[in-house]
Amino acid sequence: MSTSPTISFIGAGNMASAIIGGMLDSGFQAANIWVSAPDDNHLQSIRKQFGVSVTTDNRYCAQQADMVVLAVKPQVMADVCSDIAPVVQNTRPLMVSIAAGLEASTLDEWLGGGLPLVRVMPNTPSLVGKGAAGLYANDQVKDKQKGMVESVFSSIGSALWVDEESLLHAVTALSGSGPAYFFLMLEALEEAATDAGIASETARALAIQTMAGAAEMAGRSELDPGQLKRNVMSPGGTTEQAIHTFEEGGLRDLVKKAYSAAYKRSGEMAKELAKKQ
């Protein structure tokens, strides 16, 4: 594998664009990035934005690469993989899929078998460089290839490995769906503060900054979230009253129930998708 690997993206949607932008900001060279998609007009806009090479030919795009990122919808993945299979069987690149629900064994079969393959579960904050991605590698993936995947996805946030593919369902329920959980909390806080008389724009700005600040503190601190929470609380104070209300209302159990529902649905969707192929 070359010192400066060539990375090809099959698919040019928002997530692919976010990853490319993050890579370039992290020092990857545009000359080593290829992108393919059926819409040439869209490709030309990506070329102008990032300075990368583009083509409407998926096979040609895959042929250039040390690492191929499959960034197409699950519904068209089988056709895309079958199309590029003869090429990747010859060049043997690292294959990376960001499609939810499609298992590594299925993807490998469509690609002709025996290829190093990594599944990645990114989330929507990746679009602003604050993503959290879960990664799983099959047995063919070498340590150096793992490092390459980490360098790509850490350019748009955090990239963490799981040892078993089934744990990607747990990742989906946590970081994949998680942004919506926090948006719900923002929505609820804004509504409560507005009811108390604060202008909605002010309430939203304060809630967003409070959430961002709390996340930054949690990321930088060696203390666990429980202790950070207690550090904000004073005996008989406002925070203590609010936390007691959350606890008495069963917030912890509700969060666990919601997480379990997302986890279960992730598994169900994977099975549904497999039946459609």
Domains of the chain by start residue, with CATH: 7-163 (3.40.50.720), 177-264 (1.10.3730.10)
14 is in an annotated binding site: yes
231 is in an annotated binding site: no
73 is in an annotated binding site: yes
CB 114 within 8 A of CB 88: no
What residue ranges of the chain have pLDDT lower than 70?
Answer: 1-3, 277
Question: In the chain, at which residue ranges do the beta strands (DSSP E only) sit?
Answer: 7-10, 33-36, 53-55, 67-70, 94-97, 117-121, 131-137, 157-161
CA dihedral 156, 37, 270, 127 (to 10 degrees): 20
74 is in an annotated binding site: yes
CA-closest candidate to residue 149, choices 14, 11, 28, 25: 28
- Give the pLDDT of residue 253: 98
- Give the pLDDT of residue 275: 75
12 is in an annotated binding site: yes
- Give the pLDDT of residue 1: 39
- Give the pLDDT of residue 274: 77
Look up residue 231 and give its two tokens: 């550090």
pTM beyond 0.85: yes
- Give the pLDDT of residue 3: 60
